[in-house]
Amino acid sequence: MKLVLVGTSHHLAPVELRERVAFPRDAAAVLAGDLAESGLECVCLSTCNRTELYLATDEPDTAEMAAEARLEAVGSALYRLRDEAAALHLFRVAAGLDSMVPGEGEILGQVRTAYEIGATGPFLDRLFRQALHAGRKARAQTGIGESPASVSSAAAALAEQVFGDLEGRAIVLLGAGKVSELAARNLLSRGARIAAVANRTADRASTLAERLGAEALPLERVGEPLGNADVVVSSTSAPGFVLRREDVAAALRGRRGRPLLFVDLAVPRDLDPEIASLDGCYLYDLDDLEAVVTETLAGRRREAERAEGIVAAEAERFCAWQASLDVVPAIASLRARAEEIRAAELAKAEARLGRLTEGERRTVESVTAQIVNKLLHLPTVRMKQAAAAADGVLYADAVRHLFGLGEDDR
């Protein structure tokens, strides 16, 4: 079984490309199921910063082409990894080491969700369970997640840079999900106030607005609070723009040149890029936040190095297990042949064994089984060790030849 990864991320693709292959939860589950119909295992990990397809298959070239076809909208901005490199990449992703903000905590939950809705079998089940373990271990044993920086906190830091002081500044939230709430909490901690929460679902808007002491609005009325707002933070799951240039232009008439900061945390983007062309309007998207994020990294570099070591060790463990799969059929055939011989010899001795008591017969069964197990223990261990060192196939072929296991046991 081979591991194939095809994907794109903020390292290769700007947000206008990433949004073309951004799959909401249900769509990611459907995509994984569709690819799995051809007999492979599949998980689709789709976040604001990446979309990646993980495939377990006996035909890696075919699987890779199928994955590329699903992500063709990003053109050449794809990376392709296999086996050890693909496993290490996932483990780094789960630990937050490949994120725009190293150590950010949201990614671990996103990896878990992708695993839960994916079309997994024994191979990807093992891979993702171990990746989640590696992510938790890296965060528990290092300080990479301390003083958590995230895209949401970066948005608050950017707002502070623009206005100098956020005390009393009015914030409008578009979207009532987790990212919006995290951004709101970060802005509140810097002295801002949440004026309004607009969302397509009224109940969710009301719930978040109540917690934040804000007004709840339907999304179609989002233009109303813009006249008095200082910052607009948008993070909805809408497939297209929820706020266009003309909507903002209408709200600017009574502002008398006061600056208005827009922060778009959504993929696909919520805010029309043309908003930035309006006087007094400043628009930043996820890619723009990367420069803000970079300033928070200096204190995390040493912890990130420690986390890299933990992740590499966990990935090595997985790869040793994957390599051992090449020799498992030979080991199983060898043990089956040994058990067949043991049972046949006991059957030949049945005339003499018949004089034994039931307890004595059980002792003979136990002793002969232990002899077989002890004889095969060291060869089994050595074959698995050889598999981890890339000699497993040679050892497996030698065992088949020496013990006459034959082609049917391959």
pLDDT digits (tens, 9 = 90+) for 263-294: 999 989 999 999 999 988 999 998 888 766 66
Q: Which long-range contacts (CB under 8 A, 24 or more apart) does 363-370 make?
A: 368/342, 369/342
| Local structure of residue 126 (DSSP, 8 states) | H
User: Among 19-23, 106-110, 315-319, which is the least confidently predicted range?
Assistant: 315-319
Q: Please give the residue that has the higher pLDDT: either 76 or 332.
A: 76
Domains and CATH numbers, the chain: 2-147+300-323 (3.30.460.30), 151-294 (3.40.50.720), 327-409 (no CATH)
| Local structure of residue 4 (DSSP, 8 states) | E
For 128-170, write each residue's pLDDT tens digit: 999 999 999 998 888 777 654 667 777 888 888 788 888 889 9
List beta partners, residue 8.
51
List beta partners, residue 338.
none
Choosing from 42, 44, 48, 281, the catalytic residue is 48
- pLDDT at residue 410, as a whole number: 45
The C-alpha atoms of residue 250 and residue 260 are separated, in whole angstroms, by 13
The C-alpha atoms of residue 173 and residue 162 are separated, in whole angstroms, by 18
Query: Does the pLDDT value for residue 41 go beyond 60?
Result: yes
Is 281 in the active site? no
The torsion region of residue 318 among left (phi > 0), alpha (psi -120 to 50) and beta comes to: alpha
The answer to whether 187 and 261 are in contact (CB under 8 A) is no
HSE toward the beta carbon, residue 216, CA cutoff 13 A:
15
pTM exceeding the 0.85 threshold for the entire prediction: no
What's the token pair of residue 305?
A: 């190095």
The C-alpha atoms of residue 115 and residue 207 are separated, in whole angstroms, by 29
